[in-house]
Structures are given as structure tokens and as C-alpha cells.
Structure 1
Amino acid sequence: MGIRKLEHTGIMVRNMEESITFYTEVIGMTLKDKFIHTDGIIELAFLGFPEQDSVELELIQGYNDNLPAEGKVHHLAFTVDDIESEFERIQELQIELINPEIITLPNGSRYFFFKGPDGEHLELFQSTRP
């Protein structure tokens, strides 16, 4: 198994700029990357702490505008070195995939989603960022 660490936690937001401002000015995180998903609809932003590269927060706008009053955490992501072998391993274990293929983002990072035992969304993520 090639899982190395918790990659990031994805939080759905209604207003990307407002959320970036909050997490940078109130929480003290820095914006590391921001782009439109390859689907042309969803906007993603990745934030982290200046002295700690191991923790990242992903803000997601456009996935679901009907956010509940609680439970805005969308998924947990784990870092992997070889996305293809992990994709094959999850399929061999007959774990339910959320998306049927590996997706490549504009920055070259690659990922796929699958379901945990209670239907929670889990992501394996191979990043192009150091």
C-alpha cells in the first residue's frame, strides 16, 4: 500500500473569495494554489500554513450551492506516490468508486474518489506540488 499521509480536507464554500479571505486573515493560512477544475465549473483553492507543508485545506465552490448548516466537509484526501497502482488496488478490493477513472487537474495533480464503509467520500491524490 502506498498511502503516505493525509493530503487535504475539502470544504464546500458558497463564496470562494470570502472564504480565502477568512482562512488567510483570520486563521493565518496562505493561498498555495487556485484554479478552475477541468470540468469548467468547480473552483478550487488550496491553502496551508507557512511553516507546515503537511496540512492543506481545499476550498470547493460550485459543487453544491445548497450547503447544510453543518457537515460542510466534503472529503478526506490521502497522498499517494502512484495513483495508477492505488486505483487498481481499490478496484481489486471491490470498493465502490465515486468516479470511474483517474482525473487530472490543470496543474497535473491526479486523483480519484471512492466510498468508505459509511458512504463517506475518500480521495487518493497524487500531487505535482512539492
Structure 2
Amino acid sequence: MKFLWTTLHVKNLEESITFYSRIISLQVVNRFKAGKGVEIAFMGNGVEGETLVELLEDENHDNVSFGGAVSIGFSITSVEDMMKSLEERNIKIYGGPFETPDALFFFIKDPSGFTVQLFQYK
């Protein structure tokens, strides 16, 4: 069995695509209408077989909320550099940075309020 994607129900698809493109460096690999008022964008690195992020905007359901116990994580090369870049863009750090023997990481929120972990292996 292969893990294909994680679906994030988003408030605004354009804002979310911009966030995941500019901050996380993902690209739209597929985008389509999926019924009346529903649009989906799959984002990734363009590598065949990779696990994707599916962004789903449903105009019929505008009450998007997330539990605080779930986050989506991405590998970065430098916590320090990423934190500086986010500060320049006025993106708030919601937790961290934290350090373990093997890693550094911190948390931000995407435009819909979903928790995003940025993780640097040592």
C-alpha cells in the first residue's frame, strides 16, 4: 500500500496555492473542478510517485476548521534561514524552534489555519 496524498479542506484555494508555492516550494501538479462549487489542486515537487498535498475548496461548506492535534510536515535545509524568510514575510511562528538530538523544527499556520511543521534534519 502506498500513501498517495493528504487532503486539506481550505477556505481559499488561491491563497493556499500561493502559500504552498511560495513558502513550501510546492507546485501545482493537477488542478480541476470537482462539481458545483468544488475545486481541487494537487501540489508536489513534480516527482513521479511522490505523496501529494491535495487542496480542496468547497464553496458549499465555508466553515473550515482543524483539530490542533494534526500537522503536516515538510523537510527544510535550514531552520534559521527559513525563520528569517518567514519573518520578512510577516508569517508568525506558532511553536518553536524545538531541538532534538537529530533535528530542529518549528510550526506555522497555513491560510486556513492548518498547522505546518518545518523540519531540519541535523
When the two structures are superposed, what TM-score results if normalisation uses the length of structure 2?
Answer: 0.49
When the two structures are superposed, what TM-score results if normalisation uses the length of structure 1?
Answer: 0.46
